[in-house]
Amino acid sequence: MLKLESKQVNFYYGSSPALKDINLEMESNTVTALIGPSGCGKSTYLRLFNRMNDLIDNTKLTGEVLIDGIDIYKKGINVDTLRKMTGMVFQKPNPFPKSIFENVAYGLRVNGITDKQFIEERVETTIKQVVLWDEVKDKLKKSAFELSGGQQQRLCIARALAIQPSVILMDEPTSALDPISTSKVEELIHELKSKYTIVIVTHNMQQAARVSDHTAFFYLGELVEVGTTKKIFTNPTQEKTQNYITGRFG
Amino acid sequence: MNPFFKKFSEKFIEGLLMISGTVTSLTVVLIVFFLFKEGISVFNKKAVEEGYVIAVNKSNKVNSISPEDIKNIFDQKITSWKDLGGKDSIILFRLEDISTYFTDEQIGENFERLPACISRVVDSIPQIFAFFPEKYMDKNFKGKEIEAGKISFNTFFGGKEWFPTAQPAAQLGAKPLILGTLWVSLGAILLALPLGLAAAIYMSEIAKDKVRRVMKPLIELLAGIPSVVYGFFGLVVIVPAIQKLFNLPVGETGLAGSIILGIMALPTIITISEDAMRNTPRSMKEASLALGASKWQTICRVVIPHSISGITAAAILGIGRAIGETMAVLMVTGNAAVIPHSILEPMRTIPATIAAELGEAPNGGVHYKALFALGCILFVMTLVINLTVEFITGSKKYKKH
Amino acid sequence: MKQVDENKLAKSKKRKQSLAFFMFGFIGFVIVGILLTVLSFIVFKGVSVISWDFITKMPEEGMTRGGIYPAIIGTLCLVGGSMIFAFPIGVMAAIYMNEYVRDGIIKKIIKQMTNNLSGIPSIVFGLFGMALFVNKLGFGDSILAGSLTLGLLALPVVIRTTEEALKGVDDTFRHASLGLGATKWQTTRRVVLPIAFPNIITGLILSVGRVSGETAPILFTVAAYFLPKLPTSIFDQAMALPYHLYVISTSGTNIEESRPIAYGTALVLIIIVLLTNILANFLRKYFGKKVKMN
Ligand SMILES: Nc1ncnc2c1ncn2[C@@H]1O[C@H](COP(=O)(O)OP(=O)(O)OP(=O)(O)O)[C@@H](O)[C@H]1O
Ligand SMILES: [Mg+2]
């Protein structure tokens, strides 16, 4: 089933274009990797799906961005509600200055849930989901800053999962992590695929190859090529893609 | 250039720079030294008028009397030794009372027998409380001179009255001044903190960049206006307004001081807490918004908790500013040195007291020293405040890594 | 999601947010309003008083007439005197701290002490100035004693702004110069200071603004109540603008009649502050651009 879709999307910071005529479709329960050299618009594209770019003044969007077939930029869409449908994981772990428990409960609380028992159960299941439970179950009341970087990042993933989004957007989620933490997060992505639609931005070709079903290659704001990961990495149609994945530029 | 000379001049300049570097440290040390040297020496000084003594009958068990009690005895608020740990009622004896006990002849034409007479009076009346010039103290005086009017820590910090020029004993109770300072400063912070925080939140999180770029320098300008100008403004605008509004006999009240100090503390509070809030990592705010939180929820639940130490520091520094502020307060609070009961009464703060009285206090006298002791209190208060702020902001840095 | 009415929730979130934002914006503007009120009040009341005579004539008739010339001159002397003292020492101290000492205990102590000094209330400086300069060193109430006291007060400001200025100089400049065999002082003097210069001057101007309005430190070290002549040496007493304003608005012989003079004096003080602020901002902008372009 078609989950995410962009039709003829152009995006401008001020007058300079960051995305040009992007047409892309992503199926439910798949992982799509966005790759490309720095500054090519991957983050910008990712952030279209939870309207994070709205926060930046002086930007312009044309074309349509759809989730479940609904244009999320049309009038009458409540941005807070939309963002609840999508979870986002950032480049650096960025837990809130709160306890481990409260970090995960945050999304529930801001969305008006007050039932204590419900929150506790949800927090526990989500922390288990990211395979962090055994490490933190005794210190849920402790500050989230006391965790290691890798643990913090898994906590941030749990935080995003707690509100049960259907889409997870990850912007270089492992670039600040050590190899072991990285592989834990990658395993997690595998697990999560059965329930969510995942879009991941990465600079790591191996990672893209390992975790994703589809790969989209961006260059200078344009979508150069998209296809199954296997095809992109073994037999790309475009020369630029070939050059990039073999490390000749970027 | 001669390499030896070059090396020498390098060293010389470094030495010069080093000396300059130590000037501030030296100044702080000197300030502490002079302040405390003069201030501490007020203790164990006598509050009684210079050159006077107080004596009682030998049988009297009372050995020392505080300045406050001396004043009360003179004002006849204390009329019995029982209040001071002795017995029977007090018979007050002053030099001019001598004529009720002796004739001019007995005293002598040139008062040559006056000391002996005083000695006899004190010896013969058990309830006596005699106050007379030291020069009339007999060589073999038969009474008991008592330690009177000694200024102790207790009388200084606990004394309820500040009246340094009082006769016969200066009343140096700093309590009304300390309380006055605290009342006025707390009033100021109660007014300024909510307003300042709201403005800081507005400037750092809500306002458009354009608005902020205009607002920020204006608020910094607010910090640059001299305190006399604020005091003057308070005097001609706020004081009459308060008088009218609350229907008071005078408008110079603690409230007027709090309002002016509040305005003066605003820039400190706003700039520091705004800085703290702007330091909230962008990605942390985005993470909150990405979870469906509204901007307002993000401010309350992420930005404020993240910058809480900065906000606390701002509040404490604001109090510090208010506590140390002199001129504005001096001009608008009415300066009544009584223990405050309501913010609508005239009050007097420590800095205002120093400013108002130091000019008239004779150098090296008790009053002069008492003012330095007040300076010490002020110094310690502000030092504690600064160290607290450093501790708060310092421990924050530690926590983040 | 669990039993939460999406629409209702969204609406209530929105309502709370608009209310809060409106309130905060309102307060922000009120605060700016307060500032403008203070300023415009003094400007309106004072502007009719200010004239050439007002700033060049002696006070007359128990300060109910005439000008504030001696107070202006006194303040100029005090500002000048305090800066002659504080500026070189402050700049040198900052150079020492930023260019010479390594991070460590000494730097920490100096930093801490500078911090402490800047936290001391101005009236305490007054007490100290009186004890040391006026009494102990025997300067008496004099421009010298007052300038030194104000200089000490300004010292932390000068040090801090100079330090900021020095920190703003990119390390590559230093490394390049040192790499060419220049000594530390040569590097500082020929490379670092010229780049930092505009910002150091900005700091100087800001301290001038601060010092010219201070009253408490000069109460007992220099200020004269009514002295219709100019000081002739640094051991003379002098009038000063802020003290003058204080006296004529609270304890002059005829407060009501001298009110206009008070408004005029307050306006002159405000003008000084505004001018120093504007000048400092201008320098920062102007030279800030220039340095970047290099
Ligand atoms: N807030 C912004 N304001 C103006 N321009 C921006 C902003 N954010 C990004 N850009 C510009 O848009 C283009 C795309 O940026 P984007 O962050 O999407 O790149 P990216 O592919 O994620 O790069 P990286 O791999 O380095 O994260 C860049 O040229 C960048 O300079
Ligand atoms: Mg990016």
DSSP for B311-350?
A: HHHHHHHHHHHHHH--HHHHHHSB---S--S-TTS-B--H
- Provide the 3-class DSSP secondary structure of residue A17: strand
Terminal Cα-to-Cα distance of chain A (whole angstroms): 33
- Ligand 1 atom 14, closest CA: A41
Same domain membership, residue B107 and residue B65:
yes
Sheet of B91-94, strands arranged across:
B91-94, B128-133, B52-56, B144-145
Express as a percent the part of chain C with pLDDT over 70.
Answer: 94
Q: Cβ contacts of residue C280 below 8 Å, gap of 6+?
A: C202, C205, C206, C209
CA distance A105 to A177: 24
Minimum mean pLDDT among A58-72, B83-97, C107-121: which range? B83-97
Candidates A10, A11, A12, A13: which one to mutate for ligand 1, based on the most atoms within 8 Å of Cβ?
A13
Same domain membership, residue B183 and residue B164:
no
Q: What is the 3-state secondary structure (H, E, C) of A114-145?
A: CCHHHHHHHHHHHHHHCCCHHHHCCCCCCEHH
- Tell me, what CATH number does B213's domain have? 1.10.3720.10
Candidate ranges A131-140, C102-111, C216-225; pick with highest mean pLDDT: A131-140
- Chain B residues inside the 8 Å CB shell of C187: none
Considering the domain boundaries, does residue B167 fall inside one?
yes
Categorize the per-residue pLDDT at B398 as very low, low, confident or very high, splitting at 50, 70 and 90. Answer: very low
- Cβ neighbour number for residue B12 with a 10 Å cutoff: 11
Amino acid at C145: A
pLDDT (0 to 100) of residue B376: 94
pLDDT (0 to 100) of residue B58: 80
Is the Cβ pair C9, A111 closer than 8 Å?
A: yes
Same domain membership, residue B290 and residue B146:
no
pLDDT (0 to 100) of residue C141: 87
Q: What are the tokens at B43?
A: 């203790």
According to DSSP, residue A22 is labeled: E
Q: Which of B125, B144, B172 is the last residue of a domain?
A: B172
pLDDT surpassing 70 at residue C64: no
Same domain membership, residue B361 and residue B225:
yes
pLDDT tens track for B295-352: 999 999 999 999 999 999 999 999 998 999 999 999 999 888 888 888 888 999 999 9
Same domain membership, residue B370 and residue B315:
yes
Pocket around ligand 1: residues whose beta carbon is below 6 Å from it?
A 13, 18, 36, 38-44, 56
Chains in contact with C, counting 3 or more C-beta pairs less than 8 Å apart as contact:
A, B
Is the Cβ pair B292, A87 closer than 8 Å?
A: no
Same domain membership, residue B108 and residue B254:
no
| Across C43-49, average pLDDT | 89
Chains in contact with A, counting 3 or more C-beta pairs less than 8 Å apart as contact:
B, C
Considering the domain boundaries, does residue B108 fall inside one?
yes
Considering the domain boundaries, does residue B308 fall inside one?
yes
What's the A44 CA to ligand 1 centre distance in angstroms? 6
* Centroid of chain to Cα A230: 21
Query: Number of Cβ pairs closer than 8 Å across A and C?
Result: 21
Residue C73 burial (C-beta neighbours within 10 Å; 0-12, 13-18, 19+): middle
- Of residues B92 and B267, more confidence is placed in B267
Same domain membership, residue B337 and residue B225:
yes
- Mean of the per-residue pLDDT values for chain C? 86
Residue C62 to residues B228, B360, C179, C226, C258: CA-CA distances in angstroms?
A: 21, 21, 67, 8, 9
Q: Which of residues 9-48 of C touch B (CB under 8 A)?
A: 13-14, 16-17, 20-21, 23-25, 27-28, 30-32, 34-36, 38-39, 41-42
Q: What are the tokens at B28?
A: 């702080």
Same domain membership, residue B223 and residue B161:
no
pLDDT (0 to 100) of residue B377: 93
- Residue that the structure tokens 């150079």 belong to: C95
Q: What is the 3-state secondary structure (H, E, C) of A193-242?
A: CCCCEEEEECCCHHHHHHHCCEEEEEECCEEEEEEEHHHHHHCCCCHHHH
**Burial call C201-220: b when 16+ CB within 10 Å, e when fewer:** bbbbbbbbbbbbbbbbbbbb
pLDDT (0 to 100) of residue B191: 93
Is the Cβ pair C120, B23 closer than 8 Å?
A: no
Question: What is the dihedral sign for C-alpha C95, C159, B375, C247?
Answer: positive
**Number of structural domains in chain B:** 2
Same domain membership, residue B182 and residue B66:
no
Instruction: Report which of B199, B174, B186 is spatially closest to residue B376, judged by C-alpha positions.
Output: B174
- Cβ neighbour number for residue B157 with a 10 Å cutoff: 13
- Of residues A107 and B4, more confidence is placed in A107
CA distance B116 to C40: 73
| Across C261-274, average pLDDT | 90
| Across A154-171, average pLDDT | 92
- Of residues A111 and C57, more confidence is placed in A111
B111 CA: distance to closest CA in chain C (Å): 39
pLDDT tens track for C112-163: 888 889 889 999 999 999 999 998 898 888 999 999 999 999 999 999 999 9
Considering the domain boundaries, does residue B86 fall inside one?
yes
Domain that holds residue B155: 52-172
Using N-to-C axis directions, what is the helix angle for C122-129 and B350-357, rounded to 10°?
30
Cα dihedral C213/C217/C218/C219 (nearest 10):
110
Same domain membership, residue B362 and residue B218:
yes
C294 CA: distance to closest CA in chain B (Å): 26
- Provide the 3-class DSSP secondary structure of residue A171: strand
pLDDT tens track for A169-203: 999 998 888 888 889 889 989 989 899 999 999 99
Q: A31-35 and A214-219: which strand pairing?
A: parallel
Categorize the per-residue pLDDT at B59 as very low, low, confident or very high, splitting at 50, 70 and 90. Answer: confident
Residue B297 to residues A80, A211, B395, C15, C17: CA-CA distances in angstroms?
A: 11, 35, 26, 12, 8
Q: Which of B113, B140, B172 is the last residue of a domain?
A: B172
Express as a percent the part of chain B with pLDDT over 70.
Answer: 98
What's the B284 CA to ligand 2 centre distance in angstroms? 16
What's the A24 CA to ligand 2 centre distance in angstroms? 18
What's the B278 CA to ligand 1 centre distance in angstroms? 22
* Centroid of chain to Cα C229: 27
pLDDT surpassing 70 at residue B132: yes
Same domain membership, residue B334 and residue B224:
yes
CA distance B337 to B347: 6
pLDDT (0 to 100) of residue C1: 45
Instruction: Report which of B332, B345, C74, C260 is spatially closest to residue C252, judged by C-alpha positions.
Output: C260
Instruction: Report which of B327, B11, B27 is spatially closest to residue C159, judged by C-alpha positions.
Output: B27
Q: Which of B172, B205, B223 is the last residue of a domain?
A: B172
CB A10 within 8 A of CB A221: no
pLDDT surpassing 80 at residue C3: no
CA distance A74 to A66: 10
CA distance B202 to B33: 45
CB B168 within 8 A of CB B48: yes
Separate counts of helices (H) and strands (E) for chain B: 18, 8
pLDDT (0 to 100) of residue B395: 63
Q: What are the tokens at C66?
A: 């005439």
pLDDT surpassing 50 at residue C294: no
| Across B213-229, average pLDDT | 89
pLDDT (0 to 100) of residue C88: 94
Tell whether A48 lies on the interface with B, counting CB pairs under 8 A: no
CA distance B8 to A37: 56
According to DSSP, residue A53 is labeled: G
pLDDT (0 to 100) of residue B401: 34
Q: What are the tokens at A103?
A: 């970090």
Q: Quick one: which H or E segment has residue B129?
A: strand B128-133
- Of residues B134 and C82, more confidence is placed in C82
Categorize the per-residue pLDDT at B36 as very low, low, confident or very high, splitting at 50, 70 and 90. Answer: very high
CA distance A166 to A244: 31
pLDDT (0 to 100) of residue A101: 95
| Cα angle value C138/C140/C269 (rounded, 5°) | 140
Q: What are the tokens at A21?
A: 């005529």
| Across B5-24, average pLDDT | 87
- Of residues C12 and C87, more confidence is placed in C87
Is the Cβ pair B354, C123 closer than 8 Å?
A: yes
- Provide the 3-class DSSP secondary structure of residue A9: strand
pLDDT tens track for B358-378: 888 888 888 899 999 999 999
What's the A176 CA to ligand 2 centre distance in angstroms? 13
C14 CA: distance to closest CA in chain A (Å): 10
CB C231 within 8 A of CB C170: no
Q: Cβ contacts of residue B251 below 8 Å, gap of 6+?
A: B238, B239, B240, B241, B242, B243, B244
Categorize the per-residue pLDDT at B248 as very low, low, confident or very high, splitting at 50, 70 and 90. Answer: confident
The ligand placed nearest to the CA atom of residue A42 is 1
CA distance A45 to A215: 14
Separate counts of helices (H) and strands (E) for chain C: 11, 2
Same domain membership, residue B261 and residue B345:
yes
Categorize the per-residue pLDDT at C293 as very low, low, confident or very high, splitting at 50, 70 and 90. Answer: very low
According to DSSP, residue B245 is labeled: H
Categorize the per-residue pLDDT at B157 as very low, low, confident or very high, splitting at 50, 70 and 90. Answer: confident
CB A25 within 8 A of CB A5: yes
Domain C52-293, CATH among 1.10.3720.10, 3.90.180.10, 3.90.550.10, 3.50.30.40: 1.10.3720.10
The values of phi and psi at residue A72, to 5°, are -80, -5
Q: What are the tokens at C106?
A: 């000494």
pLDDT (0 to 100) of residue A249: 66
Cis check: omega of the bond before B168, within 30 degrees of 0: yes
pLDDT surpassing 90 at residue B152: no
